[in-house]
Amino acid sequence: MRDDSQQTTTQDTPTAEPFYILATSSRPDDRTRVLKHGESFALFDRYGDMPRAGGGEHGLYYQGTRFLSRYELRLNGQRPLLLNSSVRRDNCVLTVDGTNPDAFGSGEVTIPKGTVHLSRSWILWDTACHERLVIGNYGAVPVLVRLTVEFENDFADIFEVRGFQRGRRGEDLAPTLGENGLDLGYRGLDGA
């Protein structure tokens, strides 16, 4: 008599490898990464994002005002799997290394995990914050990937971020798409 319950066939797994382990997300972790220079500071999650979820304090701040309240990068619509994340000793540079999770199409793995490497570097210096992205393909064939970035601003002061309710706020200005980027604006109660 044959026991089929312990046999693994290629039909049971999404790839031809009998012992393939699917990877679709990283382990959860809520540690915050902080960059600081002068009167500017930025709070990131360990992926190098400023997510809307969590405590809500993530973002880019200058002189006590949050200028960027959300910034999230996705690779083919998914958060990259985290390989490493660290802040330099002077708190001016955050480096994050990630890779793609398994990508599916027509019920099959189209891009296996670990094929695409994504290196992110955030630099905060003076009153500017820059991100550098480097993408590499370690697969045997070319792959097509889509990078998306979602971002928001709220121009909330540090007290509002911590839960203080203001009686009045200024007005959000309509975003302006320019030749070199997008301007997000706010007119404060003082007219500035």
Q: Mind listing the pLDDT tens digit for each residue in 31-59?
A: 789 999 999 999 999 999 999 876 689 99
Q: Which residues contact 46 (CB under 8 A, 6 or more apart)?
A: 29, 31, 33, 82, 85, 96
Q: How many CB atoms lie within 10 A of CB 80?
A: 24
Q: What is the pTM of this model?
A: 0.78
Q: Which has the minimum average pLDDT: 24-28, 69-73, 77-81, 104-108?
A: 24-28
Question: Residue 72 — pLDDT band, cuts 50, 70, 90?
Answer: very high
Torsion of CA 94, 148, 25, 114, to 10 degrees: -80
Element (H, E) at 184: strand 182-187
Burial 123-158 (b: 16+ CB within 10 A, else e): bbeeeebeeeeeeeeeeeeeeeeeeeeeeebbbbbe
